[in-house]
Amino acid sequence: MLHQKFTVFDFIFYLILILLSVTILLPFIHLLSISLSPSYVATTPGLHLIPKDITLDNYVKVFTSRFIWVGYKNTIIRTVVGTIVQLFVTSIGAYALSKKYFPHRTFWTFIIVFTMFFSGGLIPTYLLIKELGLINRYAAMILPSLVSAFNLVIMRNFFSSIPDDYEESCMIDGANRFVIFFTIIVPLSMPILATVGLWLVVGHWNSWFDVLLYIQDDTKFTLQIILRRIILSGTQQLVDMTTGGVFFEETNSSPEGLKAASIYIATIPILCTYPYIQKYFVKGIMIGSLKG
């Protein structure tokens, strides 16, 4: 049995990976420690890795704020509806462009890729959304980014790798294009659909700028906007966002602890999604990027 020699390059490589992992984990550990610490500990300067006198008051106060639950509801609605609609439209468009008999396929692919380098700009986009009557509507969070050129090209390349024999045999049996797509193409394309779907989920969950531009009704704010208010606005905003108006009195809560707890509450759900779709990543991205 041959034993691979451990070289200096391997040592440096693993050392770099360990350092990168530490730099990623330390902020999470620090925030967790702050979120579980009472006010007199959380307000102490420095790096906090181990919580002292653990308390759940910060999480209790955050969960009793109605704005957090409103933000969760709006974010879940946006994420679920936006991901499903975008995945459907993108996959349909990518499937059409993957066919060699599609008229002027090269031209339309060039037009789509061209949009990745140039855009209309912020002000024209806002004016367009306003003229379409989408201001202060849920559609303003979904329709402007309905189709991503990058995702479309990745999915197009993946569909091109599927042999035409499957479709030809189904057409002989009398199946139309929609039946072929949903019964043959979609099951065979689960790796790329899961990969792009996770990108869309993360994008919708973390998105906040379009909500800041197009939404004025606070009952339609997403979780990231609520989190932004908590982090940037300070103690007074935190007091205003509670149901009772008293946030820190006679509790172990603190502005720093509440901010840390809010960040964890907004981040953990999306982090829990990764392990279930991670297995599709390598296969989906490699085939989608190399074929075409």
Distance CA 36, CA 41 (A): 10
How confident is the model at residue 57, as a pLDDT? 83
- Which one is the CATH code of 63-223+274-290: 1.10.3720.10, 3.90.1640.10, 1.20.950.20, 3.40.50.300? 1.10.3720.10
Percentage of the chain exceeding pLDDT 70: 86
**Domain-wise residue ranges, the chain:** 63-223+274-290
**Average pLDDT, 10 consecutive residues per value, the chain (292 residues):** 69 91 88 84 78 82 82 92 94 90 88 85 89 91 90 89 82 83 87 87 89 89 85 56 46 74 83 71 53 46
101 by DSSP, 3-state: which? coil
Cβ-contact 47, 33 below 8 angstroms: no
pTM: 0.79
Distance CA 91, CA 96 (A): 9
A 10 A CB-CB count for 246 gives 11
10 Å CB burial of residue 83 (0-12, 13-18, 19+) is buried
Q: HEC states along 128-178?
A: HHHHCCCCCCHHHHCHHHCCCHHHHHHHHHHHHCCCCHHHHHHHHCCCCHH
Kindly state the tokens that stand for 240: 């205003």
10 Å CB burial of residue 177 (0-12, 13-18, 19+) is middle
Cβ-contact 134, 145 below 8 angstroms: no
Residue 241: phi and psi, rounded to 5, are -90, 0
How confident is the model at residue 50, as a pLDDT? 82
How confident is the model at residue 290, as a pLDDT? 45
- How confident is the model over 72-125, as pLDDT tens digits? 899 999 999 999 999 999 999 999 998 888 888 889 988 988 888 887 788 888
A 10 A CB-CB count for 238 gives 22
How confident is the model at residue 115, as a pLDDT? 86
Distance CA 115, CA 57 (A): 48
Distance CA 81, CA 277 (A): 19
- 76 residue type, one letter: I
Q: Cα 167 vs. chain centroid, distance in angstroms? A: 33
Cβ-contact 230, 259 below 8 angstroms: yes
User: Hunting for tokens 């034993």 — which residue is that?
Assistant: 3
